[in-house]
Structure 1
């Protein structure tokens, strides 16, 4: 199998550190910095850091205290000199840097620079990549009869506008008590899709079409067996427009009784029903009528090619690009090798690393799509007097990330090494299996809403600071980048990739993530599932003005 990502460290056969006195890692031989794998005090000898060649730094010591995930200079750098990590430029020295210095926001800045792109699918990895030979794997999923397979079996109450959000939530809350589960054991639950939009936007404009695409993506999601639509009645985002523009014709997915299958989607409006209480009662009755059909769906053995896995990172830290993200890249390659699909988003958080993804495009047209999206974002943020490199967040910086370039290089590791097959719009379903890039903002709820609307039936979320996101109807598997946070937030984290810093190989952790994906797809609950997280995080992208 090809290296899981070009950013995987190269310090030997077992490149990441073992326990003991070793405390730093160099990701590439040409790097100007090393990364601390545990906190170290000022005056710690570099010669005992443990990275390849560290013995050459006799007499050099850390000049300040260094936190886990933070960077230490191993070369003297003049003001304006490029600084490399992952073998790539992560920024430029804003003042002279000496060996042993802490490298962070006080001496590193994100100047603009040209990133060379060499797209050649025949000569590059896109043409030569081959998945590792592996026996076909399966999971226990819900076949929907039209080629789609769910990993969960939900009913949805979909609000067209914020004005009907509370009413939609009231309907779903009637099904929180468990008594109905005795009659419908194959049904995972009823959830409400509520949001802040749906009106005050141009009719048929971009925001209107985006919202319709996202709501439709959740309505016909493979994890949703049926749905009820609730509106106010006078909003811009009319339910009729949603149904007609998105060809939503069925109240439940393929596989239910014919009388339910052939019925039009049930639409309730508060104004026509006579108020909130009447609408809630009608909504509850509508959901009850859908339950028998939804319960007829049962789990069956399904090829892993039916997996569609969303790749997300949030609350990243300096360990993200060393541990959880490259390990998820290994798992992503295994999913693609099975014939499945993985979707990467966050256009604003591949900025500075996009050239590495463009090089992997299967055609020049796909490469151009991604380059166009980067250019669109540069123009978009400039309209508001901002810049696309106005990132990382304060939490990211506290965890050791300094510039958007550094953050993006680590984030891109989630995408593994497989070819880039296509670039799709926000909330758009993939057009082919393999690695897909979806144009989304970096903000986690907005990004994951788009990824799930595109049909992702499993979401894997890596985090270094401790993000706690979930998003129904798709189970969210959270992977910690460092062991201290994993232990501190054990009730929220599913897997600990921080063991890589103790010497466990990246590939081994990546395979563990792949196996966890199969188990979760087969019904094993995640920590987010157990906590009931996932309804408040539905946040469709609003691009234009609020009128």
Structure 2
């Protein structure tokens, strides 16, 4: 019997769509006839669009029931539809959008679900128990890398309840216009990263001493001398300055940092997992290396998991302004109030101005890989991206680097860059992330577990040791969106409890954190 993956198959999302995507592994050849009589005029790769009817030049191309562009030239039924014959449409105007017009769906509370987490003194809950050491300036990056390696080798084995030691290096801190209005974004990002629940309120800060961004800015603690001081002062220290006059030479700097780190590790090692309600989870939803399947399989499954988490009282955020901008008309109606809807619009307008200032526009997105995966433009990408937000009402909007304020579904305004988005979601308080991909990426964060969901089974099979959940089975009819979303919800609880380790963490793969800095550099 022929495998289902080998059968000629396409997926049409909405009755009004005049394009569909090819599901069949390896794509479909010219001359292939589908059950409805559609015959392909040319070869169409897997995930790419085929015209379901003749589309005249200048006429709308419709997917998800929305216009994703206009035809550059006449497109025949059965022809390949891609970035070369799709004209990018004008983005939705930001005035006269529907504001909080959709009644909130009646979502029955989901009760009785828990995970095993680390409760912090500030009330937050971690899914990992990590010693975080951040920096106030890039000048000390090499020193931090050196000392983290030593801590892992010499100290960490003595503290079995501590999962890891993570250095939070970045390129900010000096040679910057620290008083410029936009400088608030990188500064509050660094400040809120230090408050991430997975650090257990035991963050350390390593500074140089002469930088503009002083270490004391990042934690409520002034630098203390590491020599000729009392044990009580040393125990309370969270910041270390390499220019402290108590140090004589590099070895004394490292010894001093190691002594402070040991005391933080002692406190972290005393922590134990305890049963916590799902309402203590803060989950970031993100996509990267997307393809045309992302909006059909992985992202809808994530959207279903989002709704389950919200019903259970959790905090969930979705992000990526440029991958929301062209679908903003679908989101403002879901805001819980006109004020929240206006906050969405304000973030879109700010980013429009930011791109204009840089002499760029939204056509810079998608990437070549996205296009190879079947995404023709940012409109199509955005319509598939926002599905990660499910159907829950949007309760709040936060700017880049800000911390979450309320439970429920929040839009966290970030660039679409994977590593910048991940950094900003971590600063917002994320203790676990879900990341969907169609093209594949080894992306992972050392401070936060990242569950990787593939949009197609071809990727899941090829990257069998990098993918945690295959949503491609939705496209082949082997699973439903609801079944996959529920499987993801269950996996989230397992990973948050430390019972399951994500694939990239097993391999020891981690990305650097990257700040978003729209302020001037001096």
TM-score by length of 2: 0.92
Shift of 1:398: 0.5
For 1:144 and 1:177, locate their aligned partners in 2 and report how far apart those are by CA, in whole Å.
Answer: 26
Partner of 1:227: 203
Aligned pair in 2 of structure 1 residues 156, 128: CA closer, same or farther (>3 Å)? closer
Partner of 2:435: 461
Partner of 1:349: 323
- Structure 2 residue 79 is the aligned partner of structure 1 residue 101: yes
Partner of 1:238: 214
Partner of 1:209: 184
Q: 1:298 aligns with which of 263, 268, 272?
A: 272
Partner of 2:140: 164
Partner of 1:174: 150
Shift of 1:260: 9.0
Aligned pair in 2 of structure 1 residues 268, 275: CA closer, same or farther (>3 Å)? same
Write out aligned runs for 1:408-447 (5 A).
408-447=382-421
For 2:347 and 2:464, locate their aligned partners in 1 and report how far apart those are by CA, in whole Å.
Answer: 38
1:226-251 Cα offsets, whole Å, 9 max, x none, are 122111222221112333xxx46899
Contact 1:159 1:193 in 2 (8 A): yes
- For the residue of structure 1 that corresponds to 2:218, the secondary structure is helix
Contact 2:216 2:239 in 1 (8 A): no
Unaligned segments of structure 1, at least 5 residues: 1-16, 49-54, 252-257
- For the residue of structure 2 that corresponds to 1:78, the secondary structure is coil
- For the residue of structure 1 that corresponds to 2:512, the secondary structure is coil
For 1:515 and 1:249, locate their aligned partners in 2 and report how far apart those are by CA, in whole Å.
Answer: 43
Q: 1:267 aligns with which of 233, 240, 250?
A: 240
Superposition CA RMSD, Å: 2.3
Aligned pair in 2 of structure 1 residues 443, 186: CA closer, same or farther (>3 Å)? same
Unaligned segments of structure 2, at least 5 residues: 225-230
Partner of 1:255: none
Shift of 1:283: 1.2
Partner of 2:31: 43
Aligned pair in 2 of structure 1 residues 230, 290: CA closer, same or farther (>3 Å)? same
Identify which range, 467-476 or 404-413, moves more after superposition.
Answer: 467-476
1:116-149 Cα offsets, whole Å, 9 max, x none, are 965354x51xx33122453320000001133211
Q: 2:89 aligns with which of 75, 90, 111?
A: 111
Aligned pair in 2 of structure 1 residues 275, 345: CA closer, same or farther (>3 Å)? farther
- For the residue of structure 1 that corresponds to 2:363, the secondary structure is coil
Q: 1:506 aligns with which of 459, 474, 481?
A: 481
Shift of 1:376: 1.6
- For the residue of structure 2 that corresponds to 1:352, the secondary structure is helix
Partner of 2:368: 394
Shift of 1:109: 1.6
1:4-28 Cα offsets, whole Å, 9 max, x none, are xxxxxxxxxxxxx965635101100
- Structure 2 residue 18 is the aligned partner of structure 1 residue 32: yes
Contact 1:468 1:492 in 2 (8 A): yes
Contact 2:91 2:325 in 1 (8 A): no
- For the residue of structure 1 that corresponds to 2:435, the secondary structure is strand
- For the residue of structure 2 that corresponds to 1:502, the secondary structure is coil
How many aligned positions are there? 507
Contact 2:223 2:238 in 1 (8 A): yes
Aligned pair in 2 of structure 1 residues 113, 289: CA closer, same or farther (>3 Å)? closer
Aligned pair in 2 of structure 1 residues 540, 332: CA closer, same or farther (>3 Å)? same
- Structure 2 residue 42 is the aligned partner of structure 1 residue 74: no
- For the residue of structure 2 that corresponds to 1:177, the secondary structure is helix
- For the residue of structure 1 that corresponds to 2:151, the secondary structure is coil
- For the residue of structure 2 that corresponds to 1:176, the secondary structure is helix
Partner of 1:8: none
1:17-49 Cα offsets, whole Å, 9 max, x none, are 965635101100000101111211111113x2x
For 1:189 and 1:386, locate their aligned partners in 2 and report how far apart those are by CA, in whole Å.
Answer: 40
For 1:365 and 1:248, locate their aligned partners in 2 and report how far apart those are by CA, in whole Å.
Answer: 36
For 1:518 and 1:202, locate their aligned partners in 2 and report how far apart those are by CA, in whole Å.
Answer: 43
Contact 1:317 1:401 in 2 (8 A): yes
Contact 2:70 2:89 in 1 (8 A): yes
